[in-house]
Structure 1
Amino acid sequence: MFTGIDEVDWASMRHAYGSAEDVPALLRGLASADPVEREIALDGLYGAVHHQGDVYDSTLACVPFLFALAACPELQDRGAVVELLVSIGGEGDGPSALRAALRAGAEVFAQLTADPDPGVRRTAPGALVRFLDQPARVLDLLRGRITVERDDRVLLALTESLGLFVRRNPAHADAAVDLLAAQSAPPYGPELRLAALGQLAGCAPDRIPTDLVPTAVRLLRERSEQRARRAVLCARPHSDTLVGHLRRLRPSDEEGSQLLRTLHHALDGRVTDRIALLVGQLSSPGWADRCNAVWMSGGLFRTWRADFSEPVALIGAQLAAEEDRLRDAAVSALKQLFGLAAPAADGLHTLVTARPELWVRQWERGAPTLGDPLRALIRCGDPRAVPVLGEVLAGAVVPDDLGHEISWLGTAATPLAPALRRRLGSLALDDPGTPGRAAPLLRALTVLGDTEAVPETLRLLEGSGVVEYAVPALGAWGPAARDAIPVLLRLLDTEHAVLAAAALWSVQQDASAVLPVLLGELADPDARRWGVAVEALGRMGSAARVALPELRRATESAGSAERRATAACALWRIGGEAEAVHLALRAGWVERPHLRRSIAACLRTMGPAGAPLRDLVETELAASRRHTARSDGYGSHDIPHDEELLRVCREVLVEL
């Protein structure tokens, strides 16, 4: 296995952490008889020579030895070695030398498809499809294994590999699709049929049955019944050991989750079908099926716009489940939905009132936070959260993030204002943690329009570190914060001048006092507070006409779409120059989707003058995909941001 390993100049090679001279020890660790040592070695290789998917010269040098390890029948955990090779090979975008090395050794994968170890047989088919450049032979090998394989998990891997084969080899796809179609029907069992349907939906949608969703739901329930019977037969007593504890924590049904996730992914934008499938999953008698459905619902809700009230209500029903994992999954899903979680509000309220210990979450490290059930109830705007928050504010432990969440309750949270003011007034000026505690409280009091909090806010300005939060709050309270005018005037000569000027205009509306600061910031494209200055100038309207030439230049510049759109909105508000701003607003809308909310708000103020951009608004309202949906991840507030955009777009059409 390791012939020639000491002749390789590992010290001259690199991996994620520097010299690769430790790689031979890691490779030898994969051949250890000790499973712990094997696991440590595998983890080390992923972390070093294949760190976060990257590859290095040492990665290429490892490939021959990994092949030798995978082909040695005496070794354990060889399936994990095959998985590492597949990961190193990527999906066709890796270095050509690595791809060539894997193709050169791909005959090993052909042999491993018949290996005695089911873990190896489960990983070999995917590697075979990816790296053996003989499509006809690959298909024959897959077909042959399907006829003789008896291990259910290996059969699932073979089915998944057939789908991959169809996508990679369209010239040979027909025979593979026929195999998948055969597997999707009796006499095959429900699990394999579900797997085949998922692959067909992704690579040959013309071959899926017209009653795909009812069929999938029925197969899911048949599969669950079979698993339940096996669980009774194979039940083992709970032991008070580490192994027993880990067994109870282990995900209950990884295969089932993968099967349905594959089907959801294949259906993609067929949202009606996906909702019906999700409803079927959430109505399953098996709690594991329902738990899987809850976890995979997030991708559907975050990506697409539709009426999700039925599945959301069913997720809310899981809050009464006895199984902790299911209940916790439901809470986690609902807290991401904000207003869309309203159909589950009754279930959230019941859980919150029944479990006061869940109101605040204590962490081993870090400050306490609001508990997720209460957070979800607040975020869906349910006023029943207000008395609970009153009790939390009166308690011994008040989470710092409470103020951030209160804003979702709007004016319904007004009764909480006195308690919020008292807490703001109790913050110590010399405590380094005060800025972090003050920020969410000031946000909440600003949303509530509680001008009685001006004295407490001014007191905070006697300390340090709170100006960034306190000054905008004073500005939001407008003329009611007139007692802050002397403080704001003094701040005009500090690094906080732009923030102070923006707030001072709202409080005093003295253009002569604030224009020099705002115009100075506007003139410097690299200024830190350029956007704040432009927004403030826009609020000044005709009083800021002196800024029009510079704003026109910014609107027409070759700078970022965001900067041009920001300047364009101010240009309209100050000078009413509609034609001059249309091009910049259109470019910002198209090039930077995250700007659409602010641009839509600007269009709302333009009324009929925004008519040339009507097509943008109408297209947005007709789109089924959220403007926040993206392939590289998601944000915790994607759904409410998209729902806000839709609301503002509807208001724009009314104004037009």
Structure 2
Amino acid sequence: MLDGIDDLDWTAMQHAYGPAGDVPAMLRGLVAADAELRSESEEGLWGAVHHQGDVYDSTLATIPFLLEIAQRPGPSQATAFDLLGSYGGIDTASLVELGEARPWLAPGGTYEDARRLIADARQVFLDQLASSDARVRDSAIVASLAGPPDGRVAEALLALFERERDPRTRTTAHAALGWLSRQGLSELDDWVRGQRESPDPGVRIAALIEAARAGEPIATPTLVATVEAAYDQHGPALPTSTRRRLSRRAPQRERRAEAEERVIARVCEAVPDPAPLLMALLTSSDWEIALDAISPASEHIRKVRGDHASLVRLIAARMDEAPKEVGRALMVAGPLAAPARPELVKAPVDESVLAALVNVQDPHAVPHLRTELRRAHPSSSVGFQVARLGPVSSALADDVVRALRAGGEATYGLLQAVAQLGLAEAVPEVLRVLPDPFAIRALRLLGPPARRVVPQLQDLLGAEPKVAVAAAHALWSVDANRSGLSVVLHELDAPTNGFTYRAAADAAGEMRVEEAIPALLVGMEGDDRHGWPQLHSARALWRIDPEPALAPRLASALRTCWVNNESIRLDVAQLLVEMGPSGHALADLVQEELENPLRLTSRGGGWSTSDVERDEELLATLRRLA
């Protein structure tokens, strides 16, 4: 077996960690009698030869040998199919959970070579659909999808589905046929969606998802019943008393339906409005279903705009049973967690619950933040939390100053808190952090109460540009002192980098520096693809010369910023508010954004605990313009 493996110059090839001289040993280990060696070899092939979906020359070289392993019954046969399928751009988890078979779509080169080679071997995969091993059949289904959609594959999978008795394999076959139908084999559409009466709950779920994706309306009771069937196939839920005991005393609850944990999320991602389904599931008498609905409900709030008060209350109602999950969901809900205040103030306080209390600016957060501030080494986030707590944070002023005096990783957040609370008494502690630009910023935001620092700021005008520009801006804020004007003008004329240019533009705008207008006009009409220099230039120009004659040029630049970079829209909207009637030139964009049901922060595929908060701030700003 593996004849010819030593004829290749593996050391001349590469994998993720360098020369691929160790690949022959991995392939041999994959067919070894020793289970531990097989496991290590499998880990090496996934981790080095196919690292995070990458395809190297050594990856291509393993294909003939993996095909050989895949055709012989053995403990690594299914693993060989899994690797080959992934080489071809197909992923089992993505297929079954999301109905999307291709997470790796890198174009050209070795990736295209791999897809072609795997597609050429399709008959090997189809032959193994008759294997007596369900795991092999399952993996062969996935590998057979590599390459262009093929009617032969569809016929083979339909035949397999009809004779298959293993529920998991039937579900995989249905998912594969659903994928093929969306890739151009539309003759499969009716069959795929027509499996809603299948005896397999997994297939029924998948059929409903395909129907929902196609725009067919699915009644909420039908969805609820199908989700319940997916869980019930594993037996009944644990009784309530056991549930509570496990929730409070054990790090992990005992589950009967581990394999179904993603079912609710999959259904919610397919239907146009999952809120009714989520509310029904959150009130389910089956604790496992109710708790598994918390995360999808949180994700719905994070992604979709609207009135989520009822959903928030239903999530909060599960606090006793799942404090960690509920706390995290309420943290993500940002200011929309306000209806859950009663549950939050009674909950055991962990990081998520504290963040949620801060998000809704509840005074019950104060003693917990005070405890953190008084620790020998406060967390890096505590100062930022104090800054966001609102008026009630004034009770923490003395603790903030003491913690800043101690230094440490909390310093940057504490500087933010000093500025937000207006703690002029903290100036001596802030001076110790100079010449850090964050410290200079804190002094600037303190304004005239920090006037005593003028000599120290003037000493910084000769420092590196980012420090000098920050000092010039702070001098103006604390003392209306324009001694740093030349520093600002020089940075605008000959920018050191984008960050320092933007800082200089902000300074010029607040100082009303008319001499800066020519440089700012150049900056506003620049070509930075993210638009930040253009935005800062436009804002400065408006503050220097808020005349209607300049407004059309500003509006044109701001329109380009808005269209090219979604993450800049809040800042653009805030400037439009500042511009008053002159900002109405972007009314069409404002209205379009207000009518979008999806949160701006969820459209780029990223994730942050502040997504809801930022989007709600954007909406509030846009409503002032509408």
Q: Same fold (TM over 0.5)?
A: yes
Structure 2 Cα separation of the partners of residues 392 and 585 of structure 1: 42
| Structural mapping, 1:9-88, within 5 Å | 9-73=9-73, 75-88=74-87
Structure 2 Cα separation of the partners of residues 579 and 131 of structure 1: 52
Cα gap change, 1:564/1:112 in structure 2, threshold over 3 Å: closer, same or farther?
same
Q: 1:318 corresponds to which residue? A: 318
The DSSP-based 3-state class of the residue aligned with 2:170 is: helix
Structure 1 Cα separation of the partners of residues 254 and 78 of structure 2: 20
Q: 1:431 corresponds to which residue? A: none
Structure 1 Cα separation of the partners of residues 624 and 392 of structure 2: 23
Report the CA distance between 1:41 and its aligned residue.
1.1
Q: What are the superposed Cα offsets for residues 548-576 of structure 1, whole Å, 9 maximum, x if unpaired?
A: 12111222234443212221111111011
Structure 1 Cα separation of the partners of residues 384 and 486 of structure 2: 34
Report the CA distance between 1:121 and its aligned residue.
1.8
Q: 1:106 corresponds to which residue? A: 122
Across the aligned residues of Structure 1 and Structure 2, the Cα RMSD in angstroms comes to: 2.5
Q: 2:607 corresponds to which residue? A: 634
Structure 1 Cα separation of the partners of residues 293 and 123 of structure 2: 39
Q: 1:241 corresponds to which residue? A: none
Cα gap change, 1:134/1:419 in structure 2, threshold over 3 Å: closer, same or farther?
closer
Does residue 1:126 correspond to 2:147, yes or no? no
Report the CA distance between 1:586 and its aligned residue.
0.7
Cα gap change, 1:514/1:258 in structure 2, threshold over 3 Å: closer, same or farther?
same
Matched residue count:
593
Report the CA distance between 1:395 and its aligned residue.
5.3
Report the CA distance between 1:266 and its aligned residue.
2.5
Q: 1:286 corresponds to which residue? A: 286
CA contact (8 A) 2:174 2:206 kept: yes
Structure 2 Cα separation of the partners of residues 89 and 5 of structure 1: 22
Structure 1 Cα separation of the partners of residues 201 and 484 of structure 2: 71
Q: 2:557 corresponds to which residue? A: 584
CA contact (8 A) 2:377 2:408 kept: no
Q: 2:220 corresponds to which residue? A: 213
Q: 2:428 corresponds to which residue? A: 455
The DSSP-based 3-state class of the residue aligned with 2:32 is: coil
Report the CA distance between 1:159 and its aligned residue.
1.5
Report the CA distance between 1:10 and its aligned residue.
1.6
Report the CA distance between 1:97 and its aligned residue.
2.4
Q: 1:330 corresponds to which residue? A: 326
Does residue 1:166 correspond to 2:169, yes or no? no
Does residue 1:193 correspond to 2:204, yes or no? yes
Code of the residue aligned with 1:201 in structure 2: it is A
Cα gap change, 1:11/1:422 in structure 2, threshold over 3 Å: closer, same or farther?
closer
Q: 2:260 corresponds to which residue? A: 256
CA contact (8 A) 1:492 1:501 kept: yes
Cα gap change, 1:581/1:5 in structure 2, threshold over 3 Å: closer, same or farther?
same
**Aligned residue among 172, 191, 194 for 1:179:** 191
Code of the residue aligned with 2:468 in structure 1: it is A
Q: 1:537 corresponds to which residue? A: 508
Identity of aligned pairs, percent? 35
Code of the residue aligned with 2:544 in structure 1: it is I
Structure 2 Cα separation of the partners of residues 133 and 488 of structure 1: 67
The DSSP-based 3-state class of the residue aligned with 1:412 is: helix
CA contact (8 A) 2:334 2:360 kept: yes
Report the CA distance between 1:422 and its aligned residue.
2.3
Q: 2:370 corresponds to which residue? A: 390
Does residue 1:470 correspond to 2:439, yes or no? yes
Q: 1:439 corresponds to which residue? A: 412
CA contact (8 A) 1:337 1:380 kept: no
**Aligned residue among 157, 168, 182 for 1:153:** 168
Report the CA distance between 1:2 and its aligned residue.
0.8
Q: 1:343 corresponds to which residue? A: 339
Cα gap change, 1:104/1:394 in structure 2, threshold over 3 Å: closer, same or farther?
closer
Cα gap change, 1:300/1:79 in structure 2, threshold over 3 Å: closer, same or farther?
farther
| Structural mapping, 1:261-276, within 5 Å | 261-267=265-271, 270=272, 273-276=273-276
**Aligned residue among 383, 389, 401 for 2:381:** 401
Q: 1:611 corresponds to which residue? A: 584
213-222 or 159-168, which moves further after superposition? 213-222
Structure 2 Cα separation of the partners of residues 557 and 295 of structure 1: 43
CA contact (8 A) 2:234 2:257 kept: no
Does residue 1:413 correspond to 2:417, yes or no? no
Code of the residue aligned with 1:381 in structure 2: it is Q
108-117 or 343-352, which moves further after superposition? 343-352
Structure 2, unmatched stretches of 5+, are: 90-101, 243-249
Cα gap change, 1:350/1:78 in structure 2, threshold over 3 Å: closer, same or farther?
farther
Report the CA distance between 1:55 and its aligned residue.
0.5
Structure 1 Cα separation of the partners of residues 77 and 516 of structure 2: 69
CA contact (8 A) 1:159 1:199 kept: no
Q: 2:94 corresponds to which residue? A: none
Report the CA distance between 1:23 and its aligned residue.
0.7
Q: 1:362 corresponds to which residue? A: none
Q: 2:301 corresponds to which residue? A: 301
Cα gap change, 1:213/1:260 in structure 2, threshold over 3 Å: closer, same or farther?
same
Report the CA distance between 1:637 and its aligned residue.
2.4
TM-score by length of 1: 0.85
The DSSP-based 3-state class of the residue aligned with 1:319 is: coil
Structure 2 Cα separation of the partners of residues 230 and 596 of structure 1: 47
Cα gap change, 1:329/1:455 in structure 2, threshold over 3 Å: closer, same or farther?
same
The DSSP-based 3-state class of the residue aligned with 2:229 is: helix
Code of the residue aligned with 1:198 in structure 2: it is I
Code of the residue aligned with 1:169 in structure 2: it is G
499-508 or 340-349, which moves further after superposition? 340-349
Report the CA distance between 1:374 and its aligned residue.
1.5
Structure 2 Cα separation of the partners of residues 214 and 578 of structure 1: 55
**Aligned residue among 478, 488, 496 for 1:518:** 488
Q: What are the superposed Cα offsets for residues 213-249 of structure 1, whole Å, 9 maximum, x if unpaired?
A: 32111221233333234989xx9xxxxxxxxx99x68
CA contact (8 A) 1:132 1:138 kept: no
Report the CA distance between 1:437 and its aligned residue.
2.6
Q: 2:97 corresponds to which residue? A: none
Report the CA distance between 1:153 and its aligned residue.
1.1
